[in-house]
């Protein structure tokens, strides 16, 4: 076995605070198991704007107590240089979440920080809310969101204004991620640990429920089928709906309680094929008005509706964005006009049209709520990957609980007036033109494969798709003055086709976003656009082969 690898493993074992992972590494050394050791020592788990995320296991390339210890120590060093003194920590119910929360609390208190810990596994939006409610300098959420069961992660929020950036309880953006990563890399010794943190009671949870439920202005007579996707959303959503005066949602019992194995789904992401099949089945059985599903940490919100003659189907993220955007724009009080709408660059262009039609300020940002949350006076923001902020003053991040409540309110109002969600969506298309969107998501074994595809597209991008000529090409890595540089490309074909290709920010995936728009919204226009989207998907799958 490579002597350098052996020395690196021995050094890691000596500082590992977890006897289980240390023993696993020791056994691999004794067995000469170079294959697993190389996987676990393929570099320190990369810290970026999504924080840390990776498989639970031993060594620097995985999520474990030793990695979390160094991450917490690095964040504490970053805090000390800026006079930041307080941290609130939350967690989901994945494997390792309790251990990683305790390790973090020990390190932060050992570094002299004031530390609060949420009382039990709760949604990410509750942690984001707690950062502002407690006026904490830093928030840590132990979660891998909608990643596969073997993963866990570490998401970082900042409060107030840091280094000239208005955070106000939102996720970190550059250069904070780079600076924290540098501090983590400088940690090479064991850290002092404390034990004097405060486990919060339910006051913050109840405050979140009360402020979120106050977003609703009607009593909701609506039949909602709800899935927590084996995550932590059920308790919070039920409490919020009850406080808002809504009928209790009908739970998909197989997915209602936290289960880190996520036994009924291949991937615990509502976007994945088959993930909400149990919800659709139950909705048909009970005659539901709407289906709502959260991802495991409940910061994302999916929905499905019953289409006459076609049955239940899940809405695309852009369709939910259009419904929420139109609903908020048409129900906002006149005094609210001028407050901003925003979406990410990979989301549909329809929100811009909705905002313009109602004289609402509009912004476009890079992908991720870390960017959307920085828009001043954000009234509604969304990204096509099921992330929605329906009121950012309490939770300066995407929030699957509040989004669920506003969707249910919209459905309740329509039901009261004898209308349906499918009819409401059809009216949106007729008003603003139909916008057909499709996402291609290609999972890869090595992220370098994504870079290879993007390099190829930058040098030999297609000059036409489906017989329509390329009209504009933009390399998003080149600063334009409007947006910070990012790894991706945008191509426009004709006047109504836009294609964006980029790496996923949280998983080893290549992502491609297709939008075809139309000035009309009748059945003929919809059919023509959908046919074009399907043809483009076939062509692009061939072009994007890794």
Q: What is the 3-state secondary structure (H, E, C) of 459-507?
A: HHCCCEECCEEEEEEEECCCCCCCCCCCCCEEEEECCCEEEEEEECCCC
Same domain, 336 and 269: yes
What is the per-residue pLDDT for 217?
A: 82
Of the given ranges (134-148, 151-165, 187-201, 445-459), which has the lowest mean pLDDT? 445-459
Q: Which residue has the higher pLDDT, 305 or 189?
A: 305
Rounded Cα distance between 272 and 291, Å, is: 16
Same domain, 268 and 349: yes
- With beta carbons less than 8 A apart as the criterion, state whether 32 and 40 touch: no
Last residue of a domain, one of 397, 432, 467: 432
Mean per-residue pLDDT for 363-380?
A: 94
Q: What global pTM score does this model have?
A: 0.94
- With beta carbons less than 8 A apart as the criterion, state whether 266 and 443 touch: no
The SS3 assignment for 170 reads: strand
Question: What confidence category does residue 175 fall into, taking pLDDT thresholds of 50, 70 and 90?
Answer: very high
Same domain, 372 and 509: no
Give the residues across from 452 on adjacent strands: none
Q: Which helix (H) or strand (E) holds 517?
A: strand 509-517
Last residue of a domain, one of 432, 465, 497: 432
Last residue of a domain, one of 377, 398, 432: 432
CATH code where residue 447 lies: 3.30.310.50
Query: Catalytic residue at 279?
Result: no
Same domain, 149 and 19: yes
Angle of CA points 495, 500, 503, to nearest 5° = 180
Q: Which of 40, 86, 97, 145 is catalytic?
A: 145
Same domain, 322 and 214: yes
Same domain, 147 and 160: yes
Select from 384, 343, 373 the least CA-distant residue to 360. 343
**Positive or negative, the Cα torsion across 319, 324, 327, 329?**
negative
Question: What confidence category does residue 118 fall into, taking pLDDT thresholds of 50, 70 and 90?
Answer: very high
Rounded Cα distance between 403 and 422, Å, is: 18
The structural domain count of the chain equals: 3
Q: What is the CA radius of gyration of the chain?
A: 23
Of the given ranges (8-22, 96-110, 499-513), which has the lowest mean pLDDT? 499-513
Same domain, 34 and 173: yes
Q: Does residue 430 carry a pLDDT above 60?
A: yes
H/E/C letters for each residue in 186-211? Answer: CCCCCCCCCCCCEECCCHHHHHHHHH
Same domain, 280 and 335: yes
Q: Does residue 546 carry a pLDDT above 90?
A: no
Of the given ranges (133-137, 412-416, 445-449), which has the lowest mean pLDDT? 445-449
What is the per-residue pLDDT for 49?
A: 66
Same domain, 66 and 28: yes
Mean per-residue pLDDT for 101-128?
A: 98
What is the overall mean pLDDT for the chain?
A: 94
% the chain with pLDDT above 70: 98
Mean per-residue pLDDT for 204-230?
A: 93
Under the phi-then-psi rule, with left for phi > 0, alpha for psi from -120 to 50, and beta for the rest, what region is 202?
A: alpha
Same domain, 218 and 330: yes
- With beta carbons less than 8 A apart as the criterion, state whether 401 and 240 touch: yes
Q: Does residue 326 carry a pLDDT above 90?
A: yes
Tens of pLDDT, residue by residue over 382-420, are 999 999 999 888 999 999 999 999 999 999 999 999 999
Residues of the domain holding 495: 435-543
Tens of pLDDT, residue by residue over 306-324, are 999 999 999 999 999 999 9
What is the per-residue pLDDT for 449?
A: 87
What count of residues does the chain have?
546
Same domain, 221 and 142: no
Same domain, 161 and 265: no
CATH code where residue 145 lies: 3.40.120.10
What is the per-residue pLDDT for 335?
A: 55
- Strands (DSSP E) along 58-106, which ranges? 86-91
Q: How many CB atoms lie within 10 A of CB 416?
A: 13
Mean per-residue pLDDT for 242-254?
A: 96
Tens of pLDDT, residue by residue over 23-79, are 999 999 999 999 999 999 999 998 876 789 999 999 999 999 999 999 999 999 999
Q: Does residue 334 carry a pLDDT above 80?
A: no
| Residue 403 in tokens | 């989004």
């Amino acid at each position: 076995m490579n002597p350098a690898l052996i020395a690196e493993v021995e050094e890691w074992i000596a500082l590992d605070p977890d006897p289980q992972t240390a023993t696993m590494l020791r056994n691999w050394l004794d067995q000469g198991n170079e294959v697993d050791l190389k996987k676990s020592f393929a570099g320190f788990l990369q810290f970026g704007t999504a924080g840390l995320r990776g498989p639970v296991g031993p060594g620097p390339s995985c999520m474990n107590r030793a990695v979390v210890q160094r991450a917490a120590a690095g964040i504490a060093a970053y805090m000390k240089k800026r006079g930041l003194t307080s941290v609130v920590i939350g967690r989901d119910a994945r494997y390792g979440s309790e251990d990683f929360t305790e390790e973090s609390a020990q390190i932060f208190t050992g570094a002299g920080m004031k530390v609060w810990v949420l009382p039990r596994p709760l949604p990410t939006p509750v942690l984001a809310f707690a950062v502002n409610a407690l006026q904490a300098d830093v928030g840590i959420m132990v979660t891998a969101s909608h990643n596969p069961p073997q993963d866990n992660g570490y998401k970082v929020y900042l409060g107030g204004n840091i280094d000239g950036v208005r955070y106000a309880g939102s996720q970190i953006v550059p250069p904070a991620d780079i600076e924290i990563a540098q501090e983590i890399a400088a940690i090479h010794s064991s850290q002092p640990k404390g034990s004097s943190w405060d486990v919060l009671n339910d006051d913050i949870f109840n405050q979140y429920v009360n402020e979120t439920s106050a977003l609703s202005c009607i009593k909701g007579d609506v039949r909602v089928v709800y899935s927590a996707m084996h995550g932590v959303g059920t308790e919070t959503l039920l409490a919020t709906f009850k406080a808002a005066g809504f009928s209790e949602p009908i739970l998909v019992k197989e997915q209602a309680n936290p289960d880190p194995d996520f036994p009924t789904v291949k991937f615990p992401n509502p976007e994945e094929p088959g993930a909400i099949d149990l919800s659709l089945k139950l909705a048909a059985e009970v005659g539901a008005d709407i289906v709502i599903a959260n991802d495991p940490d409940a910061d994302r919100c999916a929905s499905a509706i019953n289409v006459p003659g076609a049955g239940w189907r899940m809405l695309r993220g852009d369709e939910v964005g259009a419904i929420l955007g139109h609903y908020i724009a048409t129900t906002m009080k006149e005094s609210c006009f001028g407050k901003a709408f925003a979406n990410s660059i990979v989301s549909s262009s329809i929100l811009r049209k909705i905002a313009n039609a109602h004289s609402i300020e509009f912004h476009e940002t890079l992908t991720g709520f870390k960017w959307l949350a920085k828009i001043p006076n954000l009234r509604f923001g969304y990204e096509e990957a099921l992330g929605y902020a329906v009121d950012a003053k309490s939770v300066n991040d995407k929030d699957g609980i509040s989004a669920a409540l506003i969707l249910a309110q919209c459905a309740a109002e329509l039901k009261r007036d004898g209308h349906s969600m499918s009819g409401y969506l059809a009216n949106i298309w007729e008003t603003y033109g139909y916008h057909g969107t499709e996402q291609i998501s290609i999972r890869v074994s090595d992220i370098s494969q994504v870079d290879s595809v993007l390099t190829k597209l930058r040098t030999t991008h297609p000059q036409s798709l489906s017989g329509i000529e390329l009209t504009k090409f933009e390399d998003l890595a080149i600063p334009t003055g409007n947006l910070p540089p990012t790894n991706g490309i945008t191509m426009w074909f004709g006047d109504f086709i836009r294609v964006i290709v980029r790496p996923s920010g949280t998983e080893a995936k290549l992502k491609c976003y297709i939008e075809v728009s139309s000035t009309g919204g009748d059945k003929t226009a919809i059919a023509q656009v959908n046919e074009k989207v399907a043809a483009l998907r076939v062509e692009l799958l061939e072009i994007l082969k890794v």
